[in-house]
């Protein structure tokens, strides 16, 4: 600091304990050291998700999947739960055409085995996929995927499943959207 001389004899500021001195601050406790707090947070999350989905059992299954797939979104984990319960052969977050490392490559939400072919399920969120220009990008990606081979099988359908249809407390709406996906149909937003 040019031109500023320290004030002699000043040790901290009167009335403000510790200011101006180095002081060791103890580390904050981790949640692992507070099992009651962890359980309370998990209960809060179960309650929040139960309110959103209208189904406590589904909420608990989704949270269990979240531990294994922490980057999975709630709609993706709902779909994963559906496929698991159906004992469908699928792969989550399948990298194709170079994945995110190559321009034009993609990471597919789900590749679902349909016997002689595969379907790609893209879980679309209204927030991102209804923005200006995004529909054209999604359609170009969809066209690039049609007919490619995954697991030695041709992609016969690229299906958009919208978060508004599956992350809802309307069980019938959710079931209808997921069942439609199995038959290669999509129901839109």
Distance separating alpha carbons of residues 117 and 157, to the nearest angstrom: 9
Sign of CA dihedral 164, 112, 141, 180: negative
pLDDT greater than 60 at residue 40: no
Name which of 159, 157, 139, 161 is nearest 147 in CA terms: 157
Q: Which of 27-36, 41-50, 176-185 has the highest mean pLDDT?
A: 176-185
Assess contact for 169 and 53: CB atoms under 8 A.
Answer: yes
For residue 29, the model assigns a pLDDT of 65
Which DSSP category does 146 fall into? T
For residue 140, the model assigns a pLDDT of 76
Q: How does 123-158 read in b/e, with b if 16+ C-beta sit within 10 Å?
A: bbeeeebeeeeeeeebeebbeebeeeebeeeebebb
pLDDT tens digit sequence for 65-74: 999 998 888 9
Mean pLDDT of 76-94: 92
For residue 31, the model assigns a pLDDT of 58
pLDDT tens digit sequence for 13-25: 566 665 566 667 7
């Amino acid at each position: 600091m040019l031109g500023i001389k320290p004030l002699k004899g000043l040790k901290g500021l009167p009335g403000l304990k510790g200011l101006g001195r180095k002081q060791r601050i103890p580390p904050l406790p981790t949640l692992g050291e507070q099992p009651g707090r962890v359980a309370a947070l998990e209960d809060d999350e179960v309650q929040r998700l139960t309110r959103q989905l209208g189904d406590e059992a589904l909420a608990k299954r989704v949270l269990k999947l979240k531990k294994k797939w922490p980057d999975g979104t709630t709609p993706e984990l709902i779909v994963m739960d559906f496929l698991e319960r159906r004992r469908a052969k699928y792969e989550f977050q399948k990298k194709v055409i170079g994945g995110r490392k190559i321009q034009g490559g993609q990471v597919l939400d789900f590749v679902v085995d349909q016997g002689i072919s595969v379907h790609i399920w893209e879980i679309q969120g209204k927030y991102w996929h209804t923005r200006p220009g995004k529909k054209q990008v999604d359609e170009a990606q969809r066209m690039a995927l049609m007919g490619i081979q995954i697991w030695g099988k041709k992609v016969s359908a690229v299906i958009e499943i919208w978060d508004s249809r599956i992350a809802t407390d309307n069980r019938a709406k959710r079931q209808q959207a997921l069942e439609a996906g199995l038959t290669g149909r999509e129901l839109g937003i």
